[in-house]
Amino acid sequence: MKNNTLFRRLLIGATWAWMALLALVPYLMLVGASFFERGTDTLVRPGLTLSNYLHLLSPTVFTMAADSVALAAVAALLCLLVGYPFAAILAHAPARIQPLLLLLVMIPFWTNSLIRTYALVMLLKADGVVNSLLLHAGLIAEPLRLMYTPVAVFIGLVYTLLPFMILPLYAALKTVDPQLLEAGRDLGAGRVRNFLHITVPLTMPGIIAGTMLVFLPALGMFYIADILGGARTMLVGNYIRDQFLVFRDIPTGSAASVTMTVAMGLLLVLHHLARRRSGKEMLP
C-alpha cells in the first residue's frame, strides 16, 4: 500500500515535472519574449514594450486571422458531418468489433502527421493515385487539379483532425441510453425526429468538444496549408512560423502566439460557461 502511494506520487510527479519543464517554462519564455524588443545581434533585447502586440493590429493580420477562422470553421463543420455518422456506426457496431474499429481510427496517429501530409501529396498530385484511378476508370478525361487548391487543404485538415471529432462523439453516443430512443419511438417519433430531438441534444457535449478539438488545432496547422495549398493562403499558423523561422522576429512571433493562445483560452472559457448555463437555463 505504501509502495503503491510512493509509485503513484513518482508517476504523477514525473508527469508534472515533464509538463512544467517542457511546456510551462518554454511558454513563460515565449510570454516574456513577446514583451522584449527585437535585437540586431542577439535574437531578443531586454526592454519592456507593447509594440509587438501593436504590430498585430494591422488590416493584414486581421484578414489573415479571419481567413484562418473561416478555414478552421469549415474544417470543423466538415469533420462533424463526416465524423457523426462514422461515430454512430462505431457506437452501434457489435461490442466485439468496436475496439478493432477504434484502433483503426487511431492507427494513423502512430505516424507523424507531417509525414502523412506528404503522403497525401502522393495521392492528390496530377499524376497521383487518385487521378490515375479516375483516369483509368474513365471517369475523367484529364487529371483533376487537386493540389494547391482549397479542396486539398480541406482534405488534409479533415483527414488529420477527423479522429479528434470521432472520439468525443463516440464517447457521447455511447452514453445515450438506447431505451430513451425506444421511449421516443413509443411516443410517436420516427427515426429522424428521434435523432433530432433526443440523440443530438444528448450528444451536444460531444459535438462541442469535437468541434473545439478540431477547430483550435486547425487554426494553427500551418504545414497542411503550406504543403497542400501552396504558399498562397497566409494563415495564423504560417504567420507565426514565418516570424520565427523566416524573419527571425522572435518578439512579434511570440506576441502573435500568445494572442492566439489567449483567444483559444477565451473560447474554452466561453464553452465552459455555456455548458454550465445550459444545465440550469430551464430552471424556474
Q: Which residues bind another protein (CB under 8 A)?
A: 177, 179-180, 182-190, 193, 197-198, 201-202, 282-284
**C-beta of 57 vs 283, nearer to another protein:** 283
What per-residue string of b and e applies to 205-223 under the rule 16 or more CB within 10 Å gives b?
bbbbbbbbbbbbbbbbbbb
In the chain, DSSP finds a helix count (H) and a strand count (E) of: 15, 2
Instruction: Select 180 or 246, whichever has its Cβ closest to another protein.
Output: 180
Closest separation between CB of residue 137 and another protein, Å? 40
Give least dist CB 212 to another protein, A: 20
Q: Are 169 and 105 in contact (CB under 8 A)?
A: no
Q: Is 253 exposed, middle or buried (0-12, 13-18, 19+ CB in 10 A)?
A: buried
Cβ distance to another protein smaller for residue 116 or 185: 185
Residues 43 and 206: their CA atoms lie apart, in Å, by 43
Closest to another protein by CB, 193 vs 248, is 193
Minimum gap (Å) between residue 187 Cβ and another protein: 4
- Shortest Cβ 190–another protein spacing (Å): 5
Nearer to another protein, 31 or 176 (CB): 176
197-204 contacts: CB < 8 A, separation 24 or more?
199/173, 202/172, 202/175, 202/176, 203/169, 203/172, 203/173, 203/176, 204/172
Q: How far is the CB of 169 from another protein (least distance, A)?
A: 17
**Exposure of 243 by Cβ count < 10 A (0-12 exposed, 13-18 middle, 19+ buried)?**
buried
Angular region, 180: left φ>0, alpha ψ -120 to 50, beta rest? alpha
**Closest to another protein by CB, 15 or 278:** 278
Neighbours of 264 (CB within 10 A): 16
| In the complex, least distance from residue 56 CB atom to another protein, rounded to whole angstroms | 41
